Structure 1
Amino acid sequence: MYTLENEILLVNIVAKGAELTRIYHKQHQLEYLWDARPEVWGKHSPVLFPIVGTLKENTFFYEGQAYQLSRHGFARDREFEVSDQSANSIRFTLRNDETTAAVFPFAFVFSLTYKLEGNRLAVSYQVSNPDTTKPLYFSVGAHPAFRLPLEPGLAYEDYRLVFNKAEHAGRWPITQDGLIDTTPQALLENTSELPLHKELFAKDALVLKHLQSDSVTLRTEKSERGLQFDFPGFPFLGLWAAPGADFLCIEPWCGIADSVTHNQQWTQKEGIIHLPAGANLTASWSVSLF
C-alpha cells in the first residue's frame, strides 16, 4: 500500500488496479471513501480500462477477430508498477503484455497519477499509443465510491447532488445484460439538483450522456461536510450504488457500455476513443473535500 499525505488529507492507494482505497480528512477526522465491505461491494474505486461497462455478449470484433472482455476491462485486476513518487504525488503504470494481447490486440501504456493539492485530490489518466503503425481504440473511466451519509446521525436522503449548470437530461436505462437501452427516461428536467435516495439505483446505475455540467457537489443542509467532484472533458457520467448500500459512486467516463443495438464492431462502438499511432491522451478528474 502507498500513502500520500499533506496537512489536510491522507490518501492510500494499492498497486493492484492502482486503486484508491482511502481518503481521510485529518482536520475533520472524517473518512470520505467507502470501506469496501465485501458482503455489499468489495471495491473502493476501481479503474475502468480498456472498456467502460459491458460489451454485448462480452465480445467485440476487430479486424475480423473476436475478443472477449469482462465488464469494465482488465486494468482493475492487474498489478501496476510505481513509475514516480513523492510525498504528495504518485504515478502508476500498466503496459500491454502477452496476457493483455490475448483479449485486447493493441499496444498501450496506461498511467495514473494521484496528487494532493490542499483539500483536493487530483487524478489524471494518461494513455499512450506506442505503436508506430496503427491506432489504439479504447475507453477509460473512474468508479470512486463515497460514503453516504458522511457523518453519524445523518441519512442518505439528507443529501443531494448539485450540478454546476442546469440540466435537461434523461437517464439511459441498463438492461439485465448490462447494455444501454435505446430510449432515455426522464430524470433531470431543467434543474441543477438531484435529491438522493437509494431507490434511484434499484434498476442499476443512472447513466447520463453529454451533460452541460463538468462538476457536481455532494451536500446536505444538515452539515457543512461534503465534496465537490470535477470531471471536465468526460462525455458520460454514471451514478451508482449497490442495492441499499451506504455509498454513492460518481463515475466520469470516456466510453460507455454497448447499446442493445450495437453491431459489436470495436471501431464503431459509442464513445470509443481513437488514438493515432504515437499519440497520447490525458483525462483528469478531482475531488475536493470540505
Structure 2
Amino acid sequence: MDKGNKMNYTIKNNMLKVTISSKGAEIQSVKGVHSDYEYMWQADPAIWDRHAPVLFPIVGRLKNDQYTYQGKTYHLGQHGFARDCEFIVEKQSDESITFLLKDSEETRKVYPFKFELRVNYNLMNNLLEENFIVTNKTDGEMIFGIGGHPGFNLPVDDLQVKKEDFYFATQPSEARVKIPISKQTGLLDWANRSLASTDSLIGLSDDLFKNDALIYQLSGHDNKISVRTENSKFHINVWTRNAPFVGIWSQYPKTANYVCIEPWWGIADRSDADGKLEDKYGMNHLAKGETFNAGFSITFHSEK
C-alpha cells in the first residue's frame, strides 16, 4: 500500500536531530547533535530493511495471514499495512511533528474500519516521545492492535567492544511472563508461557533470538527496558508506559549490530486462535467516535 512519494521531515533540539519519513511515519535517523552518533539501525536490506516501523492495525502475524470479521474473510500480512502507507503531515514545529493516516478504499479491502491514525513525535532534551492516537470513524466498534518497532545501532566498532558486552536491564526489577513464539509459524505458543527472570540482566548474543523475539507481558505501570554495556556510557532506555507487551528482537540467523525494543498494544495470534477478529487475543476495542491514546519514550545516551 505504498501511496505517493515519500518525503523526509526533521525535528531538532540542542541534543538530538530526528529524521522521519512520510512513508509509514517511520523514524529514519536519530543523531546526537554533538556526537553525530547515529542511534538508529540504518535498514541494511541484506539484514533487515526497516528502521522503526509503526505496526497497525495488527502486531505480529495472523494465523494463515487472515482473519474473519462479521462472516467475511480478510487477508492481512504481518504487522499490518500502516508501515507501507503514505502519511500526511498534519502539524510540525521545531521539536514536534504529527503524521496522519486515514482509511481508504484500499485499506478497507483488508481492514473494514474507518479510522484516523496519528503518529506524533516530540523531542525533550535527549528524550524522544512517540505517541499513537487512533480515532474510530466507523459506525460501530473498531478492533485493532498497534505498536512500535524501533531498531537501535550498537556502537561495537566505535567503542571497541563486542556485541556480547551489551545486555538488557529492566525496571521495575521483577519477573515477567514470557510468551514463546514459534519460529516456523510466527504464532504464540501460548501453552508454554513461563515466568522469566527479568529481575536480572539479560546478556545479548546472536543466539538469544534463535527462536524469534523475546516477548514479555507487562503490568500496567511504567516499565523501562535498557540496552547498555559496562564498557561505555552509551545506553538507550525505552519507557513502555502503558504497553501490555514488549518484544525484544534482532534478525536471526542473519545478524548485525542492532537490536529492537518494541512496545506493543497488540500481539500475534495464538496457535489455537479461531481466526475471528472479535475473539483475537490482545486487541483494543474502541467504541464509535472514541479515541485511543498510547505511546512510549526513548532516551539516548552516547559516549561523548
* TM-score, structure 1 as length reference: 0.96
Aligned counterpart for 1:159 among listed residues 162, 166, 172: 166
Are 2:298 and 1:287 equivalent residues in the alignment? yes
- Preserved CA contact (<8 Å) 1:167 1:213: no
Find the counterpart in structure 2 of residue 51 from structure 1: 58
Greater shift in the superposed pair: 155-164 or 45-54:
155-164
Are 2:281 and 1:270 equivalent residues in the alignment? yes
Find the counterpart in structure 2 of residue 183 from structure 1: 191
- Preserved CA contact (<8 Å) 2:159 2:232: no
- Preserved CA contact (<8 Å) 1:149 1:155: no
Structure 1 Cα separation of the partners of residues 247 and 283 of structure 2 = 16
Are 2:212 and 1:228 equivalent residues in the alignment? no
Within a 5 Å distance, the mapping from 1:1-290 to structure 2 comes to 1-131=8-138, 133-149=139-155, 151-175=158-182, 176-184=184-192, 188-189=196-197, 191-211=199-219, 214-243=223-252, 244-290=255-301
- Preserved CA contact (<8 Å) 2:225 2:261: no
Shift, 1:213, TM fit: 5.6
Shift, 1:149, TM fit: 3.5
- Preserved CA contact (<8 Å) 2:170 2:198: no
Structure 1 Cα separation of the partners of residues 125 and 14 of structure 2 = 7
- Preserved CA contact (<8 Å) 1:156 1:246: yes
Shift, 1:89, TM fit: 0.7
Structure 2 Cα separation of the partners of residues 213 and 163 of structure 1 = 11
Structure 2 Cα separation of the partners of residues 170 and 285 of structure 1 = 20
1:87–1:216: structure 2 CA closer, same or farther, 3 Å change rule?
same
Structure 1 Cα separation of the partners of residues 21 and 107 of structure 2 = 20
Structure 2 Cα separation of the partners of residues 141 and 192 of structure 1 = 25
- Per-residue Cα deviation, 1:71-93 (whole angstroms, up to 9, x for no partner): 00000000000000111111100
- Preserved CA contact (<8 Å) 1:3 1:12: yes
- Counterpart residue type for residue 142 of structure 1: G
1:27–1:46: structure 2 CA closer, same or farther, 3 Å change rule?
same
Report how many aligned residue pairs link the two structures: 289
Report which of the two has the higher share of strand.
1
Shift, 1:193, TM fit: 2.0
Structure 2 Cα separation of the partners of residues 69 and 83 of structure 1 = 27
Structure 2 Cα separation of the partners of residues 163 and 187 of structure 1 = 15
Shift, 1:187, TM fit: 7.1
1:224 is paired with a residue whose SS is coil
- Preserved CA contact (<8 Å) 1:167 1:188: no
- Per-residue Cα deviation, 1:233-264 (whole angstroms, up to 9, x for no partner): 10011000012221100000000000000101
Structure 2 Cα separation of the partners of residues 23 and 192 of structure 1 = 29
Structure 1 Cα separation of the partners of residues 222 and 189 of structure 2 = 23
Moved over 4 A (4+): none
- Preserved CA contact (<8 Å) 2:181 2:213: yes
Gap regions ≥5 residues in structure 1: none
- Per-residue Cα deviation, 1:31-56 (whole angstroms, up to 9, x for no partner): 11001111111100011000000000
Structure 2 Cα separation of the partners of residues 33 and 93 of structure 1 = 23
1:102 is paired with a residue whose SS is helix
- Per-residue Cα deviation, 1:100-142 (whole angstroms, up to 9, x for no partner): 11110101000000111111111100000123x3011000000
